[in-house]
Structure 1
Amino acid sequence: MARETRATKRNRKHSRVRRKVFGTAERPRLCIYKSLNHIYAQVIDDSKGETLASASTLSPEIREDVGGKKDMAAARIVGQLVAEKANAKGIKRVVFDRGGFPYHGRVAAFADAARENGLEF
């Protein structure tokens, strides 16, 4: 039997999380994904299936701010941007979907920055 890859293990963890975490109009889901080079975040209303706000290290608003920064600093900048975009749409409370990643490092830095900028979760 073949060994599980790191990505397969993360996907299994993510599916376990997704069984419990569901975004509604009153409390949408803040979903995060991180690759080796970038971090992506979306605020999603699962009942309608639409993305309400999104941000990433590739977003044009912060692209030059993120350039040359280390991973933790970039995660904080993305967390701040997604919180500002959500607040602009009147979203204060969200449920956090860590995407199967451990709550540590870049994920924790992102979450802390989002909390500091007005999101509750």
Structure 2
Amino acid sequence: MIKFRSKDTKQMKRDRVKRKFNANHHLRNKSSVCVFRSNKNIYASYIDANGVCLQTITLTNSGNIAQAKKVGEKMGQWIKSKMKDQKSVVFNRNGFLYHGRVKAVADGIKESGILI
């Protein structure tokens, strides 16, 4: 039986999410919010339909759920102010489970009026 290291399995998860994202043609031409989670921080990046990262938001020491929710709220406010015609985005969890801080970022974006 082949055993994978945790770094390999993380990369495999990210590749699987990317394949599913690219397979859905209706998602390919939409802008998205991509989330990266480390032990101390959480990052949310706005990527437009052409694949260009326009904004990345993080807070220092955003290692808890309350700070992650603030990151999501700031991202939602930025989308509403800069991208006035943007009503919805695709949420890319980047292979992380939709739980805890990742879910808090999504909830913060939803609370600011952006559909996911």
Scaled by the length of structure 2, the TM-score of the pair is: 0.81
Structure 1 residue runs of 4+, over 4 Å off?
none
Identity %: 33
Q: Would you say the 8 A contact 1:31–1:42 is kept in 2? A: yes
- Give the aligned partner of residue 99 of structure 1: 94
Q: Is the 8 A contact 1:79 1:111 kept in 2?
A: yes
Q: After superposition, what is the alpha-carbon deviation per residue over 1:35-93, rounded to whole angstroms, capped at 9, x for unaligned?
A: 000000111125x23113321124xxxxxxxx5x7511110010001111111122221
In 2, the alpha carbon distance for the partners of 1:17 and 1:40 equals 18
Q: 1: CA distance between counterparts of 2:58 and 2:2?
A: 34
Long gaps (5+) in structure 1: 59-66
* Structure 2: distance between partners of 1:57 and 1:76: 11
1:51 and 2:20 matched: no
Alignment coverage as a number of residue pairs: 109
What letter corresponds to residue 13 of structure 1 in structure 2?
K
Higher helix share: 2
**Alignment map for 1:1-121 (pairs within 5 Å):** 3-21=3-21, 22-24=27-29, 27-46=30-49, 48-58=50-60, 71-88=64-81, 89-90=83-84, 91-121=86-116
Gaps of 5+ in 2: 22-26
